Amino acid sequence: MEEIEMVETTSDAFVDHVDHSIGGFGGHSFRRLTHVSMAILPYLYYVHGNEIASVFQLESNQFVSLACVLILLVEALRLKFGIVIIGQREYESSQISALAWGALAVSLALLVAPKEDGEELSSGLYGVPIIIGMTIVDPLMGEIKRTKQDLRLAIIAGLIASYCIWLASYYWLGTDIRAAIILAPLTVAGELPKTRAIDDNATMVLLPLSGLILMYPFL
C-alpha cells in the first residue's frame, strides 16, 4: 500500500522530458551538457573574476550583478515573444526558463555566500559546493528518474553525489565540516518540489544558500 502511494504522489516526477524538449533527444542532451558546464562558473569567478571584470572596468561582484540583470532582460524579451530555443522545453515559451532561474540563483550564491580573501578557488569555500552541487546533482537525479522511474534511487544517488561534493570541498577548500554535513541534503531537497512557480535550478541553490546564511554565525 505504501509503495502504491509513493508511485501515485510522484508520478509527475517521471515525465520523459525528451518528448517535450525542442530538438528531441539532441536538444535534451544539449540542455544537460549546458547544465553541467555551469560548474566552471565558480572557478571563473573566484580565480579569474577580477581579471575578467577589469576588462569592463568593473569589480567581480559588479560584473556578476550586471550579467544577471542582462540575462533576465533577455529572458523578459524571450517570454514576450514566446521564443524557445534548442534544449528548452515547450512549456518554457510561457514561463521563466530553467536557465534564467539558474542564472539568478548562481548569481545570488556568488554574491551572497561568505568567502575568503584572495583569488584562489578556496576563497569560494561555500559558493563552490553550492553551485557545483546544483550543476551535477540536478542532471544526475533527473536522468535516474527519467530512465529508471525510481525516485528513491534518484534521492540516494543525489545524496551520495552531494556529500561527495561537500566533503571534497571540506578536504580541499576548507569548508566547515558542519556546513558540509547539514547543507548537502538541502541540495537534494531542492530538486524534489515540482512546481511551475520556481525551477529546481533555483531551489537547489537557494535552499543550501539560505541554510548557510542562517548557520554561518555559528560556524
- Going by pLDDT thresholds of 50, 70 and 90, the confidence category of residue 196 is confident
Which residues have a Cβ under 8 Å from the Cβ of 130 and sit 6 or more positions away? 109, 113, 183, 187, 205, 208, 209, 212
pLDDT tens for 68-94 read 999 999 999 999 999 998 889 888 889
Q: Where do the domains of the chain lie?
A: 2-218
For residue 108, is pLDDT > 60? yes
- Going by pLDDT thresholds of 50, 70 and 90, the confidence category of residue 181 is very high
The answer to whether 59 and 50 are in contact (CB under 8 A) is yes
pLDDT, averaged across the chain: 90
Helix ranges restricted to H, 60-217: 60-81, 98-112, 127-148, 151-173, 177-189, 200-215
For residue 8, is pLDDT > 60? no
What average pLDDT does the segment 140-166 reach? Answer: 95
What average pLDDT does the segment 140-157 reach? Answer: 94
Q: Among the listed ranges 20-24, 53-57, 68-72, 159-163, which one has the minimum average pLDDT value?
A: 20-24
- Going by pLDDT thresholds of 50, 70 and 90, the confidence category of residue 2 is very low
What value, to the nearest 5°, has the Cα angle with vertex 167 and ends 161 and 171? 140
CA distance linking residue 129 with residue 165, whole number of Å: 6
- Grid coordinates representing 97? 526558463
pTM (2 decimals)? 0.91
Where residue 120 falls (left for φ over 0; alpha for ψ -120 to 50; beta otherwise) is beta
